[in-house]
Amino acid sequence: MARRSVGAELPFIGSLSRSQGQLGRQLAQALRNAVKRGDLKPGELLPSSRVLANSLNVARGVVTEAYEQLVAEGVLESRAKAGTRVSRALGNESTREVTRPMSEATQPKALPRSVAHYEKVADEFSPLPHVPFTISVPVNQTVPEDIWRRIGNRVRARGPGAPAGYDHQQGAEVLREEIADYVRRSRSVHCSANQIVVTSGIQQALYLCCKILLDVGDSVWVEDPAYRGLTAILEHSVPGTNMVPIPVDDEGMDVNVGIEIAKSAKAAFVTPSHQYPLGMPLSMSRRNALLAWAREANAWIVEDDYDSELRYAGHPFPSLQGLDPSRVIYLGTFSKILFPSLRLGYAIVPKGLEKAFCGARALMDRHPPSADQHVLAAFMKEGHLDRHIRKIRGVYAERRLQLTSLIKSAIPSSLAWLQPSDQGMHLILWITTGIDDKMLAKAALEQGVAARAVSTMYASKSNRSGLVLGLGDFSDEQIAYGVNVLAKLILGAHSKK
Ligand SMILES: Cc1ncc(COP(=O)(O)O)c(C=O)c1O
């Protein structure tokens, strides 16, 4: 039962209007509404009539009149010495108003389109449960060990992560130094710590790029299919931009098509290491073509490098940023290699753009939370991140092999087949035409198996059906169960065709 001190005020009552008179009735109505909204819970103790009368600056009789009226209605109950409470007989359910989305509720005035858009986004992005095959679920061997906690305790207790005033918008310098060194070694990114803006994951970095680099009426290339975290921003949050979907084939985004249909676009958003969601890298010739176009069109390239650390075979292509640091905004994240709830990533911006990113960042949330930045900086400086990446690469490689071979043995390849790829934390399972991937994803979730439908990531009306299967650190049994559920659903859907 919720506790409230006997002398507490009830701020949701607001002020009573003396000019309207009937203060007792006004107070009773305010209390009735508070119970209905759930601001006051069944069984919750109300202030004594004397205390409430004092805090509202009314005569005590006003409060007793209101209390007595509500007791008579069954909204409150009153017992000698036990005070006045919200009636326990109401039960929690009867007092909670169902929260309907604002756009569905009857509204006297038309709402801005943003309300419906952001409500839809909230549904689309609500996190999947931590069951197979949700992407990026670090458990068991893939969570950073005790060392993360130990560094955290040290840094928070007496180090630079201890409570302090506002910090720099760009992020902690020690962390930016570590990131600059890390991306140089691992991705051939050329930058100084001054060009790095620490963000709340790549998601915030994408939002910042859209806000800063685009103007009303600008065209923007996006891959088709693309990451919804990007297209949902462009659909609404930057008014007046023209999103131009560019088809993806075996070599990644088809740059020639982009040049044909929107040569003077202002920016191209790409996932060149590992096209999201399909998984192929952008070929070298396409990389060169993309950079050549950007120079000629004076356009930006936003390189979303969300999972390049998790490569299981061969050598990765160097980053696009390393090939032309003046044209490319490079985005990286710690969500995949550490854990998504950390919410730390970074944007590496061409010289001269740093200040704009800092300004936009300041308006959004001033700066990233300081303590975790210092924990991460120490984790990197002491060499733990490199070791951790080597370790989780092994774990995910094994999970990947396991999932691949189970799928191949459980589902005939004429009905479902895997997209070849040798990187990352997810696989694409293509499904034969005529089976709806959205229906499959919904039915799987009802049985405790999570998968995202590929068709929802296409801008064009695609009849390609497929599922994004995430590699989390799930147990053998969980993976076998997940494959079994998918196999039954796919075979069942096929037999009904
Ligand atoms: C292609 C792509 N970009 C960006 C992100 C966002 O990552 P975060 O905001 O967690 O850094 C993701 C997350 O899965 C992704 O798949």
Ligand 1 atom with the smallest distance to the CA of 204 is 9
- Ligand 1 centroid–CA 467 distance in Å is 17
Domain boundaries, the chain: 11-95, 144-386, 390-495
* Whole-number pLDDT of residue 81: 82
- The pick from 308, 335, 454 for probing ligand 1's pocket by mutation, whose C-beta has the most ligand atoms within 8 angstroms, reads 335
Closest residue by Cα to atom 4, ligand 1, is 202
Nearest CA to ligand 1 atom 2: 306
Q: Which residue has the tokens 């005020």?
A: 9
Q: How far is the CA of 202 from the centre of ligand 1 (A)?
A: 6
Residues with CB under 6 A from ligand 1: 201-203, 227, 229, 271, 276, 304, 306, 333, 335, 340, 345
Say yes or no: do domains 11-95 and 390-495 share a fold: no
C-alpha 242 – ligand 1 centre gap (Å): 22
Q: What is the mean pLDDT of each run of 10 residues along the chain (497 residues)?
A: 52 78 90 88 91 88 92 89 88 59 68 90 90 86 89 92 93 98 96 98 98 96 97 90 96 98 98 96 97 98 95 87 97 96 97 97 95 97 95 91 96 95 93 95 95 93 89 89 97 88
How far apart are the CA of 279 and the centre of ligand 1, in A?
Answer: 14
The Cα–Cα gap between 449 and 486 comes to: 8
Report the C-alpha gap between 344 and 368 in whole angstroms. 8
Which ligand 1 atom is nearest residue 206's CA?
4
Question: For residue 139, how far is its CA from the centre of ligand 1 (angstroms)?
Answer: 19
Task: Please report the pLDDT score of residue 432 as a whole number.
Answer: 95
In the prediction, which pLDDT does 97 show? 53
To test the pocket of ligand 1, the residue of 137, 307, 333, 471 to mutate (highest count of ligand atoms within 8 Å of its CB) is 333
What's the 229 CA to ligand 1 centre distance in angstroms? Answer: 7
- Which class for 157: exposed (0-12), middle (13-18), buried (19 or more C-beta within 10 A)? exposed
What pLDDT score was predicted for residue 108? Answer: 56
Q: Which atom of ligand 1 is found nearest the CA of 135?
A: 14
Task: Please give the CATH number for the structural domain made up of 144-386.
Answer: 3.40.640.10
Q: By CB neighbour count within 10 A (0-12 exposed, 13-18 middle, 19+ buried), where does 25 fall?
A: middle
> Among positive and negative, which fits the CA dihedral 49, 50, 51, 53?
positive
Task: Quote the pLDDT of residue 203.
Answer: 98
pTM given for the model = 0.85
- The ligand 1 atom at the shortest distance from the C-alpha of residue 336 is 10
CA distances from 322 to 8, 159, 184, 378, 380 (A): 61, 34, 9, 26, 22
Closest C-alpha among 281, 272, 278, 271 to residue 314: 281
Cα dist. 326→184, 270, 302, 432 in Å?
16, 16, 12, 44
Tell me the CATH number for domain 390-495.
Answer: 3.90.1150.10
Ligand 1 mutation target, pool 227, 228, 231, most atoms within 8 A of CB: 227
pLDDT of res. 5: 46
- Nearest CA among 350, 133, 277, 302 for reference residue 202: 302
**If you measure from the C-alpha of residue 225 to the centroid of ligand 1, how many angstroms do you get, rounded to a whole number?**
15
* 11-95 is classed CATH 2.140.10.30: no
Q: Whose CA is nearest to atom 12 of ligand 1?
A: 306
- Nearest ligand 1 atom, CA 203: 9
Query: Which atom of ligand 1 lies closest to the CA of 271?
Result: 1
